[in-house]
Amino acid sequence: MAVFSLSDFADHEQVVFCSDDKSGLKAIIAVHNSNLGPALGGCRMWPYANEEEAVRDVLRLSRGMTYKSAMANLKLGGGKSVIIGNPRTQKTPELLAAFARALENLNGRYIAAEDSGTSVADMKYMTQFTQHVAGIHDKPTEDGTRSGDPSPATAFGTFIGIKAAVREKLGRDSLEGLKIAVQGVGNVGFDLAQQLHAAGAKLWVTDIHKESLARAEVELGATVVAPEEIFGLDVDVFAPCALGAVLNDQTIPQLKARIVAGASNNQLAEPRHGVELMKRGILYAPDYVINAGGIIDVYHERIGFERAALIAHVEGIYDNLLEIFERARKEERPTGEVADAIAEERFGR
């Protein structure tokens, strides 16, 4: 299998293939770019159908982290790792230890955090073997402490990002009375819905799990709809907070919302869907810009956590988005394309 000539290979600095016979570890660590600092990104464990799929995933995701961190003004580069295997049946302490030793061998060029298939507990366990993991410490909050889970910061950043999009598209600062559809009320989506409700927005929500929907209905007065109904609602904002590729040929024609702004990663099925949204006059807040609260949270843990500094940094998502929106408007380009250009300027591609 070729690597250098894969379409997902984008001038990556280093790609490391790690294996350990005893534990069965097969992992790939990709450092895309470290101009701004050590490469930080999640460690995903997934039963990839084949090795090429795993290589492509780690290359694509690590590149994305370079753009996300640069855009969020972090002194971090972009990296990601994947462990090939089923996290439910193949994730053993031996395997995590072997992976942690591989991290240690990279001397901090790559720092791992939890991702799909791994947990904060897994990262904490790995600290026995390496210091190069992040997102593991409890953090002070207004009413006690919370775990290393970055979701609250992601939700707060998404809330701030929705406000920036509303300012740009609707010319107002208040969310009072705005109609907002939230797709997925999990860790991020429910927290976001709470903030939107507190700001006076009227909510429509969907999920494939019933428990959180019932909570949203009772606690936030949200209207619950079926998963396929969320796209076509007559709302002001559509906030995807469930899964990727939700902006595609099937869903975009249904959208009545004038703004798409949510926390999901990789919302555009293909870059051309960003053009499609622009043509329809729908303002799209680029996913990696609006959902950067989580990586900002992890970064602050590394530099010595101060709650006020974290909040101020996450609030910077507002200005980042306004800069993108303004440039996209003036240059008549899709917001995602403009975001990439700004990120590239920042990391010095």
What positions carry a catalytic annotation? Answer: 80
Comparing CA positions, the residue from 306, 312, 236, 232 lying closest to residue 72 is 312
Phi, psi of 328 (to 5 degrees): -65, -40
- Show Cβ contacts of residue 310 under 8 Å, excluding neighbours closer than 6 positions: 153, 296, 297, 300
- Closer to ligand NAD by CB, 102 or 291: give it: 291
- Contacts to ligand NAD from residues 140-179, by CB under 6 A: 150-151, 154
Query: How many angstroms separate the CA atoms of 85 and 97, rounded?
Result: 15
Residue 120 in the binding site for ligand NAD (CB under 6 A): no
**Binding of residue 23 to ligand NAD (CB under 6 A):** no
- Write each residue from 206 to 245 as x if it is in contact with ligand NAD (CB under 6 A), else as -, in one continuous string: xxxx--x--------------x-------------xxx--
What is the residue type of 256?
K
Question: If binding means CB under 6 A, how many residues of this protein chain bind ligand NAD?
Answer: 24
DSSP run (H or E) holding 14:
strand 14-20
Minimum distance of ligand NAD from residue 182's CB (angstroms) = 9
What is the layout of strands, in order, in the sheet containing 179-183?
Answer: 223-224, 202-206, 179-183, 237-240, 259-260, 283-284
Contacts of 26 (CB under 8 A, 6+ apart): 18, 19, 83, 84, 85
Q: Which of 294, 299, 328, 338 binds ligand NAD (CB under 6 A)?
A: 294
For the beta sheet containing 110-114, the strands, ordered from the edge strand earlier in sequence to the opposite edge, are: 14-20, 25-33, 77-84, 39-46, 110-114
Instruction: Select from 54, 70, 188, 328 the one that contacts ligand NAD (CB under 6 A).
Output: 188
Site string for ligand NAD, 262-291 (x = CB under 6 A): -xxx-------------------------x
Q: How far is the CB of 57 from ligand NAD (least distance, A)?
A: 13
Single-letter amino acid, residue 230: I
For ligand NAD, which residue has the nearest CB? 186
Pick the stretch among 14-22, 85-93, 173-181, 186-194 that binds ligand NAD (CB under 6 A): 186-194
Assign 86 to helix, strand or coil.
coil
Of 14 and 119, which CB lies nearer to ligand NAD in the complex structure?
119
Indicate the residue among 34 and 183 with the shorter CB distance to ligand NAD.
183
Residues that bind ligand NAD (CB under 6 A): 150-151, 154, 183-189, 206-209, 212, 227, 241-243, 263-265, 291, 294
